[in-house]
Structure 1
Amino acid sequence: MAVRFSNHEVKLVLEDKTRLKKFLADLFKRENQGLSGLQYVFCTDEYLLQVNQEFLDHDTYTDIITFELSPDPEITEGEIYVSVERVEENATNFNVSFNHELHRVIFHGALHLCGFGDKTEEEEELMRKKEDEYLALYFA
């Protein structure tokens, strides 16, 4: 199992990558979801808009896009694209640190791959609860 982080046209230095990788692997275990590989790509708004248009036919800016690549629903092989600019803006709007918001989005993507949605009000409420749970565990 490998969790990888890369940057596309942005400079982002993640603190304690080794700890974060282990935590993400543990998140998948806690949610009873297998994990064979996970790639996070930190990028610009424009790049993520291009991905959104090309692959999802959405013409909107977003903070995160998650792709499940595995044909086996029991084992995740995923790619998660994160707009660093959206994370910065969200952190300001929600009055939290960039680091806190970045980790919320990182966990949000992982939770999507574990089967959690955010399309309905009930799904969104559960997603926020799970994000808060993992943020509390990570920053404890």
Structure 2
Amino acid sequence: MNQNYQNHARLVTGFHKVLGPLLLLGFIGSLFNLYKSFGNDTFYSASLITLLFLCGIFLFWYTRSFPLKAQDRAIRSEENFRYYLLTGKGLPSELSMGQIVALRFAPDEEFPGLVEKAVSEKLDSKSIKQAIKNWKPDYYRV
């Protein structure tokens, strides 16, 4: 399948659509259980279950955010190098990380012009992606 603006977002079914909701539902259920057990013998167990679900939610969040930060750093470096090869200059410092991530989908022919347009018109990442005429897919981002 060819990647384009409409289908470039990546959702992993087991992670985003199964594990995320299960953790959220389990946490809500554990809070209800904790409330119901307040003042009786099961309060300690209920609090441990709530704590475990809270730890699971933190793991879910950081398991996704840490690799994305590392990939963002790699993308910034790659796109800066690509811009340098095409123009002899580094990427403008006015670009945000979101803009740079969006620009990675632009082919070499469109890239320098789109960089200048993104800076001058302060385009957000969605507008940058929509302005790309010939989408350059990125199948490696997690």
Higher relative contact order (CA 8 A, sep 6+): 2
Return the structure number with greater strand share: 1
TM more than 0.5: no
User: Please, what TM-score do these two structures have when normalized by structure 1?
Assistant: 0.24
Q: TM-score, normalised by structure 2?
A: 0.24
Question: In terms of Rg, which structure is larger?
Answer: 2
Structure with a larger share of its residues in helix: 2
